[in-house]
Amino acid sequence: MHREELIRQAEERQQFLDGFTHHILVCAGLGCLHNEEIIKTLRQEITAKGLEQHVLVRKVGCMGLCALGPIVLILPEEIYYQTVTPQDAPEIITALGKKPVQRLLLPSTLPFFTKQQKNVLALSGRIDPESMGDYLAAGGYTAVFKAITEMRPPEIIRAVQESGLRGRGGAGYPTGLKWATVAKAMGEVKYLICNADEGDPGAFMDRSILESTPHAVLEGMIIAAYAVGANTGFIYVRAEYPLAVKRLKLAIREAEKNNLLGHAICGSSFDLNIKIRLGAGAFVCGEETALIESVEGRRGIPRPRPPYPAEKGLWGGPTLINNVETYANIPLIIERGPAWFAAQGTEKSKGTKVFALTGKITHTGLIEVPMGMTLREIVFDIGGGIPDDHAFKAIQTGGPSGGCIPAEFLDTPVSYESLSALGSIMGSGGMIVIDDTSNMVDIVKYFIEFCMGESCGKCTPCRVGTAQIHTLLQKFCDHRATHNDLVALETLCDLVKNTSLCGLGQSAPNPVMSTLKYFRQEYLDRITDPIHPRQEGNQ
């Protein structure tokens, strides 16, 4: 596709959309139930009223507020309706252009909407994920044209470096540096991988991005491949995400049809083919070297690093691995410039971050906020606080291997550094809110059980260590623990953290260590033997 063709297609679609006086957008994410029936009844109702020429019903990606889904958005008035059922369709259609349906109204002045800053999610919930025209009309794929026709690869890498973007998958490694390493690495064949193996319990950022704006991820990947010189790309996505896989496949096919993928992209000499690889649901395959093993068709077990994938990755070739959200940020950086991106966030953590808010919180859902926003703002303003008048107890960030942060640190600004200073991690962006009805030891036991079950078994400390930690925690849960068990628990956590092979084992003790630090009393309450003065001194 040439630039003129792109502009023509975008304009055509825009003209078509502009022909309608009202747009009804229905969330069609995996979490919004009955959305297909809602769309069907809305369309029936429109046909019955003879409004086909004036009202367009479209399915769109996630609008974020999953707790009150399915959500329906009326444009151009920006009216949000919550928990819509197919039976509400006649009322919604009748109210078009008149007074909104009060019963279903969701005020758009909620802090949930106003306090967010949407970059990656800007188009999520606004465009049809299965229509390339919608993405083009919203300004999509212009960044690819800019990158390929106006910029040389080193300029793109410099732009990404200047933006200060850091990997959104968890570790926060500078993206530009990774790109520069792969670009410089010696190797005839280089590979590009998109890590969409999101496995944290309670996290759905990557799934939502793939379901809502699959083309944005592809666009980021095309720019990345051009910058580092890769001609083959893989998207490693878990098979438990059927909708994301379906929409990705559709997006790849459309992009191939329009010469945005394949041979001589946009009339340049650059080729790129992207293939989907389905993961079988092993958590450890989110670790980059285990993911590479899995793509190669082997058992997903991590390799020792170094050599890092940037040097020797897939089939021994230099490989660039980035997370879904990282790729989704790239088109924006290319289009609006690195300075725009670097102006957001904190000094060391730039830009915005998508989080999945879950647990005991009113507004469960998907949010995007600038780095540096405090946990308090996220939980109480955007999240709407704790339901049923319960008290906030802790927030667990970064998935099963993150730490639990207590109430006294609620004013901590969220950034890679501040979270790791508190003994937790940014991770891929899961946030689980815990209220006073939960006991921390039970929660930690759940997370360790998860890590134990997901350990690949390659290295001793992770394989046996997590199982032993689990046995000890079970003793605490059963009120059978002794002071020696507490000492053993701390010794084991230190061992597993420092001697495990990959990130899974190294971070698996985080929930235990952070709760031993902040909620020690809850462990002590479950110890049955009398305090021995010498043992107490050891702690």
By C-beta, is 142 or 499 nearer to another protein?
499
By C-beta, is 137 or 284 nearer to another protein?
284
One residue of 17, 464, 477, 524 binding another protein per CB under 8 A: 464
Q: Kindly list the distances between the CA atom of residue 342 and the CA atoms of 148, 210, 352, 373, in Å, as whole numbers in the listed order.
A: 23, 25, 10, 15
The contact pattern for another protein, residues 393-432, with x = CB under 8 A and - = no contact, is: ----------------------------------------
Residue 79: its H or E element: strand 79-81
By C-beta, is 177 or 467 nearer to another protein?
467
By C-beta, is 302 or 383 nearer to another protein?
302
One residue of 259, 420, 439, 460 binding another protein per CB under 8 A: 460
- The reply to whether 242 sits near another protein by the rule CB under 8 A is no
User: Which listed range, 123-131, 156-164, 267-275, 299-307, lies at the site for another protein (CB under 8 A)?
Assistant: 299-307
One residue of 453, 520, 531, 538 binding another protein per CB under 8 A: 453
Would you state the structure tokens that stand for residue 313, as one six-digit string? 């990755």
For residue 400, is the peptide bond before it cis, meaning its omega torsion is within 30 degrees of 0? no
| Three-state DSSP class for residue 404 | strand
User: Which listed range, 98-106, 197-205, 411-419, 460-468, lies at the site for another protein (CB under 8 A)?
Assistant: 460-468
By C-beta, is 161 or 474 nearer to another protein?
474
Q: Give the count of residues interacting with another protein (CB under 8 A).
A: 31
- The reply to whether 491 sits near another protein by the rule CB under 8 A is yes
By C-beta, is 110 or 495 nearer to another protein?
495
Phi and psi torsions of 238, nearest 5°: -75, 145
Q: Please list, in sequence order, all residues whose beta carbon lies within 8 angstroms of the beta carbon of residue 122, skipping any fewer than 6 positions away.
A: none
Q: Please list, in sequence order, all residues whose beta carbon lies within 8 angstroms of the beta carbon of residue 130, skipping any fewer than 6 positions away.
A: 59, 247, 250
Phi and psi torsions of 234, nearest 5°: -125, 140
Q: How far is CA 106 from the centre of its chain?
A: 25
Phi and psi torsions of 317, nearest 5°: -90, 155
By C-beta, is 176 or 461 nearer to another protein?
461
- The reply to whether 507 sits near another protein by the rule CB under 8 A is no
By C-beta, is 99 or 534 nearer to another protein?
534
One residue of 177, 467, 477, 524 binding another protein per CB under 8 A: 467
One residue of 40, 278, 463, 524 binding another protein per CB under 8 A: 463
Measure the CA–CA gap between 265 and 219, rounded to whole angstroms.
12
Angle at 474 between CA 441 and CA 448, to 5 degrees: 65
Residue with tokens 């899961």: 430
Residue 366: its H or E element: strand 365-370
Closest approach of Cβ 492 to another protein, in Å?
8
User: Which listed range, 44-52, 222-230, 426-434, 458-466, lies at the site for another protein (CB under 8 A)?
Assistant: 458-466
Residue with tokens 């950086």: 333
Closest approach of Cβ 473 to another protein, in Å?
13
- The reply to whether 488 sits near another protein by the rule CB under 8 A is yes
Burial class (CB in 10 A: 0-12, 13-18, 19+), 240: middle
- The reply to whether 51 sits near another protein by the rule CB under 8 A is no
By C-beta, is 231 or 460 nearer to another protein?
460
Measure the CA–CA gap between 125 and 134, rounded to whole angstroms.
12
Sign of CA dihedral 26, 30, 36, 37: negative
Closest approach of Cβ 453 to another protein, in Å?
6
Q: Which of 103, 91, 84 is nearest to 34 (CA)?
A: 84
Closest approach of Cβ 301 to another protein, in Å?
8
Q: Which of 321, 348, 330, 523 is nearest to 421 (CA)?
A: 348
- The reply to whether 89 sits near another protein by the rule CB under 8 A is no
Phi and psi torsions of 349, nearest 5°: -120, 105
Q: Kindly list the distances between the CA atom of residue 10 and the CA atoms of 142, 144, 218, in Å, as whole numbers in the listed order.
A: 10, 15, 18
Q: How does strand 72-75 pair with strand 79-81?
A: antiparallel
One residue of 249, 275, 299, 532 binding another protein per CB under 8 A: 299
- The reply to whether 284 sits near another protein by the rule CB under 8 A is yes
One residue of 181, 259, 468, 482 binding another protein per CB under 8 A: 468
Closest approach of Cβ 188 to another protein, in Å?
19
Closest approach of Cβ 454 to another protein, in Å?
7
- The reply to whether 292 sits near another protein by the rule CB under 8 A is no
Would you state the structure tokens that stand for residue 392, as one six-digit string? 């906030």
- The reply to whether 456 sits near another protein by the rule CB under 8 A is yes
User: Which listed range, 11-19, 153-161, 242-250, 486-494, lies at the site for another protein (CB under 8 A)?
Assistant: 486-494
- The reply to whether 319 sits near another protein by the rule CB under 8 A is no
Residue with tokens 């009150």: 68
Binding site for another protein (CB under 8 A): 282, 284, 299, 304, 306, 452-468, 471, 488, 491-492, 495, 498-501
